[in-house]
Amino acid sequence: MDYKKFDLFNPTEEHQALRETVSKFSREEIAPQANAFDDAEKFNLELYRKLIGELGLLGITIPEKDGGIGLDAIACVIVHEEMSRFDPGFAISYLAHEVLFVNNFYYASNPAQREKYLPKLLNGEFMGGVAMTEPEAGTDVLGMQTTAVRQGDTFILNGTKQFITNGPEADVFIVYAKPDRNRKEISTFVVEKNFPGFSVGKKEIKMGMKASSTSCLVMEDCEVPAENLLGEEGKGLIHMMRNLEIERVALGAQSIGIALQCVDIMSRYAINERSAFGQKLIAFGQIQQLIAEAYAQTAAARALIYLVAKDISPEVRNSLGASSAKLVATTTAEKVARNAIQVLGGYGYSREYNVERLLRDAILLSIGGGTNEAMQKNITADLKRIYQV
C-alpha cells in the first residue's frame, strides 16, 4: 500500500467527491433551515425531496445494477457525518429511510419484492421506516409482543410499535413480529401504511431531534399479503442483527458530525471572538483543556468509526466493532457538545450558536439503535466468545 496516498476518511475519489457534494448541500441547504424546523418540530419534506432530486442520494449501499449508487458503509458514514454537522434531526430521518429500510430491505428481499418496491424507494416516491421498538420492548427485542399469524395467503398482524422515526411521513415500513408471543422467533414484513388495520398514532414531543417526526404505529388485525414476508418466517432476527451493524456506524457518524461542528464552533469562538481580562479566551488553561480534549476525543472516535465501517458489508459481520464504535462516538458527541456550551457560556446555552441544539440531538444517539448500556453488554459478550477457554 502507498501510505502517502491512503486516506482513511476518503479512501477513493468517489468517496471524496461524495463528501464534497454532501458538504456543499449541507452548508447551503440544510444549515439555514435547521433551527426553524427544530422550533416547529416538523420534518422538512420539501428539503428531503430536493436532496433526492439534486443529489440522487438514495440507495448508497445498493448495487448499481439495481438502481443504487453501489458504494459501501464508508460512503454511508460520510453522508451522515456531513449532514449531522448542521441538522442531525433531518439526518436521522434520512437514516431511517436509507439505512433502516432500504439497506435492510434490499439484502433481505427476493427479486419480486425488489421489483415491486425498490424503484419507488430509490426515486423518493416512497419514504420508509422500521418498526421494531414497542411500548414495553426496546433493547430486549425478543420481548416484543406484536404477532403475525398466517391465514392462507395473508398474515394478520396485531400489536403496537413505539418511537418510530418517520412514522407520520413514511409510506412503507419494515415491521418485526413474532409467530407467537411466547416464541423467540421473529419474522420480517413490508407493511404499507394503507393496509387494512394499520394506523399511525400520536406524534411524540421530544427533547431533541425535533426536526425528525416520531410516532407509534398500531396494527389491529392488519392484513399483510404473504408475499410481503421478507425471507423465511421466524428467521427475521438474522436480517435485524445484520442491519444493526451498519445502523450503529451510521448513528456513530452522526455523533461525529455533531462533535466536529462543536469543536469548530468553540475553537472559532475562543480563538477569534471572545476576550476576557484583556486576552482572547483561548489564552486560559481551563478553556484550552475543554477544547483540546474535545478535539482529541473527536479525532479518536472518528478514526474508530471509519476503521469499523471499512470492514462492514452484507457478507462481513463485525458486531464487536460496530458496538464499540457506536459506544465511543455517541459518548464523545455528548461530552464535546457539553464542552462547547461551557466554552461559550451564556451564548452556548442560548440558541445563537446552535450548540445547545446539537447537545439535545446528540443524546438520542446513545439510545437509538441499541442503548449504550446494550453496547457494553454486546462488547463483553463478544469478548467472552473470543477469550473464553
Closest alpha carbon to 103 in 114, 115, 92: 114
Going along the chain from its start, the domains and CATH numbers come out as: 13-122 (1.10.540.10), 128-235 (2.40.110.10), 237-387 (1.20.140.10)
d(CA 295, CA 84): 17
pLDDT at 140 over 90: no
Confidence of residue 3 (pLDDT cuts 50, 70, 90): very low
pLDDT at residue 6, rounded to an integer: 63
The rounded distance, in Å, linking the Cα atoms of 147 and 187 is 9
Tell whether the model's pLDDT for residue 2 goes beyond 50: no
Residues with Cβ < 8 Å from 166, sequence gap 6 or more?
43, 93, 96, 97, 127, 128, 129, 212, 213
pLDDT class of 5 with cuts at 50, 70, 90: low
**Percent of the chain whose predicted confidence (pLDDT) is above 70:** 98
Query: What is residue 206's predicted lDDT score, i.e. its pLDDT?
Result: 97
DSSP 282: G
**Count of C-beta atoms within a 10 Å radius of residue 373:** 12
pLDDT tens digits along 292-314: 999 999 999 999 999 999 999 88
Give 75-114 pLDDT, tens digit per residue: 999 999 999 999 999 999 999 999 999 999 999 999 999 9
DSSP strand pairing (172-177 vs 128-131): parallel
Tell me the pLDDT tens digit for each residue of 160-205.
999 999 999 999 999 999 988 777 899 999 999 999 999 999 999 9
Instruction: Give pLDDT tens digits for 103-131.
Output: 999 999 999 999 999 999 999 999 999 99
Catalytic residue numbers, as ranges? 247
pLDDT digits (tens, 9 = 90+) for 344-380: 999 999 998 999 999 999 999 999 999 999 999 999 9
Mean pLDDT score across all residues of the chain: 95
pLDDT band at 139 (very low <50, low <70, confident <90, very high): confident
Phi, psi at 257, each rounded to 5°:
-60, -45
> What are the cell numbers at 130?
422500521
Dig out the grid coordinates for 199 from the structure: 394506523
pLDDT tens column, 36-70: 999 999 999 999 999 999 999 999 999 999 999 99
Confidence class of residue 316 from pLDDT cuts 50, 70 and 90? confident
Q: Please list the alpha-helical segments (H only) found in 41-164.
A: 45-55, 73-84, 88-95, 104-108, 111-122
With beta carbons less than 8 A apart as the criterion, state whether 282 and 207 touch. no
- Check: CB of residue 134 under 8 Å from CB of residue 145: yes
**How far, in Å, CA of 174 to CA of 24, rounded?**
32
